[in-house]
Amino acid sequence: MSVEELVRFDGEALGHARHTVLADLTLELRAGERVALLGPSGVGKSTLLAALRRRLGQRAAWCPQEHGLVPPLSVYHNIYMGRLERHSALANLVNLLRPRRDAWRDIQALCRELGLEGLLKRPVAQLSGGQRQRVAIARTLYQAREVFLGDEPVASIDPHQARRLLNMIQRQHATCVIALHQRELALTHFDRVWGLRDGQLILDAPARELTLEDLDTLYPDAHSPDASPEPA
Amino acid sequence: MSAERAPGLLAGDSLNLRLARRSLGLIALCLVLLPFADLAITTHDPWAELGRMISGLLRPDILATQSLPHAIALTIGFALWGTLLGVVLGFPLALLFPRSRLLRGSCAFVRAIHELFWALLLLQVFGLSAVTAIAALTIPYAGIFAKVYAEILELTPRAPVDALPEGVGRFSRFVYAELPMVWARLSSYTRYRFECAMRSSVLLGFVGLPTLGFHLESAFREGRYAEAGALLWVFYLMIASLHLWGHRRLLPWVALGSLFLLGPWPDIDGALLWRFMSVDLWPKPLLDGDLAGLWQWFGEIPDLLPAIGNTLLLGLMGTAGSLVVALLLWPLACRHFGNRPTRMAGKGVLILMRSTPELMLAFIFLLMLGPSMLPAWLALSLHNGALIAFLVARHADAIVPGSHALPASARYTYELLPRLYGGLLALLFYRAETIIRETALLGMLGIATLGFHIDSSFAYLMFDQAFFLLLVTAGLNIAVDALARRYRPREIADTIGEHDRSTGEATC
């Protein structure tokens, strides 16, 4: 059986201009694979996701953290931005003044599923942190691409909701790479786990072969009280 | 190991000490040059004159002015359309601003000439018409908007753009991910600029355009102080009630409505306009290519060097005076001093002084004290000092005082001023450009700065000379701005934020 390989890194160094964040990276992303990306903050998860995003181009839908949203614009417009490139500049401009009927219908349905109903006209600036994250997810779902790349999309959402959102994301995307900090979710909702620590990919294994203890090794102070895993 | 010696007077390398030396240097320079300034009081009894003015303010006669509503409507109409067209021109220029040195230079040039000088120039072609009034505001404002909008746009956060899907066009990216992020800043600056336009629009009356200032000037000049007082109150009310009638949803209707009242509209003669721009404005020897003649032409300009000297001197005195006034007045409006009533009164006085344009203040002092540099100096110092004091007081209000109660003098010198001084000085240096611009303008009242000669050249229809003097004024202004930029406390300018609301407000 042959599985399509989407991206492959072969001993590559990733980083910014003069600063290498991830050295000697070797990994591959195959179609149909749901990957959880774990590691302490600042280790380079965002760098790896950005590199995947560059490689995948139009095939990937990108879900950044909430600061990728435009706070003064409404929820509707923020979600609409997921398909900004599919309309002409004029159509986009008109849509700012008067929402497109078809887009409004689709986005309304999407918002209902994400628990954002009734908020379409509200500026994102007036939403709570959890609601903003759901708007960011909605925008990414609205892009309707093959691969979902998410930078902690369920970070400040309660565990029950987080599971529901991950299910939604994965229903729409056979392939996804999602940075997480909830270790339990990595084991229950993903096929594969990539673990980063100290600028290296130190873990690349199928989720069913891993235990929570294995994942703890990724975090230098996993046993200190403030790094305790969230209650499942 | 020897004990550390206590430092001498003002010795040391801390930021505040350096700033203190710099400001004392400014004041010392001003004092040394003061004997060269003409500060004579030439009226018989200034106090009596002041008394009459104050009684006029206290007993205003609102019905004395004929066609007051029309003057108010014109004042608002000119300001609104001047600002609107300034935005329409300035916004696209702001997008090109970072890319074109030529554009930046031209904007600096049109900004450097005061609205009233533009009015004087345009008056020669368009007469006392709405075109003159609106264009006199629009031209410099386009330059200002181009610069300030460009600075605001430069600060657009990158994250929303980075989050966009691939392949989004430049225009869609701009209207969705960039413009909304800075919209609030752009519109708050535009609103502030409209307030400046209201003041300038009133001033247009001083060159004969039928705004509020026209009636104000004639009432003051003819000693009808009850009428003048009423007009002043109307002016203050207009500024103070701006937030009521200047609502976002109301303004388009005000703009459209005022369109019917604006006027008169001139008959524009294209040939005449072309002749004015291509021939009248330039020295004849220059057009003829006669170099020797040009030299002689230069020689015929009266008192050029004294005029430049006076402009610079008055500008320096105005800057030093503003510093002293600001240092004295800011506690008046600050929550750390006095009680509620004194603060209300202090704030009121500061707002009153900063809302009154320098030209108007100078004009009132001139009637009191007679023609010399003194009225201009007082006007520049009080207006700018009050403006800076008001902003500094707002910064001070944000400071949380230390745990133990200090007497007021210690609070001022130890707790607050050290934290505020850099910001105060930065505002003053920002303001220096405006002060020199105003200084030149005050010449129109008969003070021997560049404006006096510009005004009289226009009066004698010597357009080439007037235009040359305008260029000199603009050049001087740009040079002073560059100088002030150099001596502005940079460390502070960065921390209070170059695009802080208050520094924006220090520019008109």
Residue B185: its pLDDT value, please? 92
What pLDDT, on the 0 to 100 scale, is given for residue B493? 47
| pLDDT > 70 in chain A, percent | 94
Contact A156, A183 (CB under 8 A): no
Domain map (residue ranges) of chain A: 5-227
| pLDDT > 70? residue A221 | no
Q: Tokens representing B161?
A: 């753009």
By C-alpha distance, the chain A residue nearest B183 is: A72
- Name the band, by pLDDT with cuts 50, 70 and 90, for residue A218: confident
Separation of alpha carbons B487 and B491, rounded Å: 11
Instruction: Return phi, psi of residue A32, to 5°.
Output: 85, 5
The reported pLDDT for the residue numbered B494 is: 45
Among A82, A92, A143, the residue with its CB nearest the CB of B175 is: A92
Indicate which of A85, A87, A126 best probes the interface with B, i.e. most B CBs within 10 Å of its own CB.
A85
Residues contacting residue A36 through CB under 8 Å, at least 6 positions apart: A178, A180, A185, A186, A189, A190, A192, A193, A194, A207
Question: Is the Cβ–Cβ distance between A113 and B195 less than 8 Å?
Answer: no
- Considering only CA atoms, which of B20, B8, B104 is closest in space to residue B417? B20
A215: Cβ contacts below 8 Å, ≥ 6 apart: A38, A183, A186, A187, A193, A195, A203
Of A62, A85, A93, nearest to B167 by CB-CB distance is A85
Instruction: Say how far apart CA A32 and CA B336 lie, in whole Å.
Output: 65
Please tell me which residue, B17 or A36, carries the higher pLDDT value: A36
Q: In this structure, are residues B334 and B393 in contact, taking their beta carbons and an 8 Å threshold?
A: yes
Residue A12 has pLDDT above 50, yes or no: yes
**Partner-chain residue, chosen from A58, A64, A96, that has the shortest CB–CB distance to B163:** A64
Residue in B117, B120, B118 with CA at minimum distance from that of residue B139? B118
Q: Which residues of A touch B (CB under 8 A)?
A: 57-58, 61-62, 64, 67-73, 77, 81-85, 87, 89, 92-93, 96, 143
Inter-chain CB proximity A89 and B159 less than 8 Å: no
The residues, any chain, with a CB within 8 Å of residue B315's CB and separated by 6 or more, are: B432, B435, B436, B439, B480
Which chain A residues are Cβ-neighbours of B184 within 8 angstroms?
72
SS3 content of chain A, % helix, strand, coil (to 5): 45, 25, 30
A204 beta partners: A194
d(CA B412, CA B424): 14
pLDDT of A227: 45
Q: Mark yes or no for CB contact B165/A143 under 8 Å.
A: yes
Q: Which residue has the higher pLDDT, B6 or A76?
A: A76
Which among A61, A67, A89 has CB closest to B159? A67
Find chain B residues with C-beta within 8 A of A58's C-beta.
Answer: 165-167
| pLDDT average, residue stretch A179-192 | 90
- Judge whether B152 and B179 are in contact, CB under 8 Å: no
Distance of CA B337 to the CA centre of its chain: 29
CATH classification code of A5-227: 3.40.50.300
Q: How many residues does chain B have?
A: 508
Strands A147-151 and A60-63: parallel
Contact status, residue B200 vs residue B194, Cβ threshold 8 Å:
no
Question: Regarding beta strands A192-197 and A34-38, do their DSSP bridges make them parallel or antiparallel, or are they unpaired?
Answer: parallel
Position A75 scores a pLDDT of 96
Backbone φ and ψ for A8, nearest 5 degrees, come out as -140, 130
Conformational region of residue A144, where left means phi above 0, alpha means psi within -120 to 50, and beta covers everything else: left
Residue A12: its H or E element: strand A5-16
* Banded pLDDT at A222 (limits 50, 70, 90): low
**Predicted confidence band at A123 (pLDDT cuts at 50, 70, 90)?**
very high
Q: For position B240, what pLDDT does the model report?
A: 87
Contact B373, B310 (CB under 8 A): yes
Q: For the segment A99-108, what is each residue's pLDDT rounded down to a tens digit?
A: 999 999 999 9
Residue B288 to residue B72: CA distance in whole angstroms: 47
Ramachandran area for residue B370 (φ above 0: left; ψ -120 to 50: alpha; else beta): left
pLDDT tens per residue, chain B (508 residues)? 567 788 888 887 788 888 888 899 999 999 999 998 888 888 888 899 889 999 998 999 888 888 899 999 999 999 999 999 999 999 999 999 999 999 999 999 999 999 999 999 999 999 999 999 999 999 999 999 999 999 999 989 989 999 998 889 999 999 999 999 999 999 999 998 999 999 999 999 999 999 999 999 999 999 999 999 999 999 999 988 888 888 888 888 888 888 888 878 888 888 888 998 888 889 888 888 888 888 888 888 878 899 999 999 999 999 999 999 999 999 999 888 888 999 999 999 998 998 899 899 999 999 999 889 999 999 999 999 999 999 999 889 888 877 677 888 888 888 888 888 888 998 998 888 889 999 999 999 988 899 999 999 999 989 999 999 999 999 999 998 888 888 877 655 444 444 445 556 666 6
Name the pTM for this structure: 0.86
Q: Is the pLDDT of residue A121 over 90?
A: yes
Q: How high is the pLDDT of residue B492?
A: 55
CB under 8 Å to A78, separation ≥6 — which residues?
A69, A70, A124, A135, A139
Q: Give the closest of A62, A68, A81 to B176, CB-based.
A: A81
B341 touches chain A (CB under 8 A): no
Per the rule left: phi > 0, alpha: psi between -120 and 50, beta: everything else, B6 is beta
Among B228, B227, B231, B223, which Cα is nearest to B368's? B223
Lookup: tokens for A214: 């294995």
| Chain A residue numbers touching B172 (CB-CB < 8 A) | 84-85, 87, 89, 92-93
Res A90 pLDDT > 90: yes
Here the tokens at position A195 are: 């673990």
DSSP per-residue codes, A120-179: TTSBGGGS-HHHHHHHHHHHHHHH--SEEEEESTTTTS-HHHHHHHHHHHHHH-SEEEEE
Helix (H, G, I), strand (E, B) or coil at A8: strand
Helix, coil or strand: residue B196: helix
**The predicted structure's pLDDT at residue B174:** 95
Cβ distance of A64 and B157 shorter than 8 Å: no
The answer to whether the CB of A75 falls within 8 A of the CB of A119 is yes
Mean of per-residue pLDDT scores for chain A: 88
Chain B CA closest to residue A58: B166
Q: Strand, helix or coil at A206?
A: strand
Structure tokens at A86: 């599919």
**List of domains in chain B:** 14-43+303-508 (1.10.3720.10), 50-265 (1.10.3720.10)
Paired tokens of A83? 């398909």
Q: Say how many C-beta atoms besides its own lie within 10 A of residue B15's C-beta.
A: 14
CA distance A152 to B134: 54
CA distances to A23, B124, B338, B458, B470 from B280, rounded to whole Å, are 71, 10, 59, 11, 14
Count Cβ–Cβ pairs < 8 Å, chain A vs chain B. 65
Residue B448: what pLDDT?
87
CB B119 within 8 A of CB B183: no
Report pLDDT for A232. 38
3-state secondary structure B153-173: HHCCCCHHHHCCCCCCCHHHH
Q: In what order do the strands lie in the sheet with A147-151?
A: A60-63, A147-151, A175-179, A34-38, A192-197, A200-206
Q: How far apart are CA A127 and CA A105, in angstroms?
A: 21
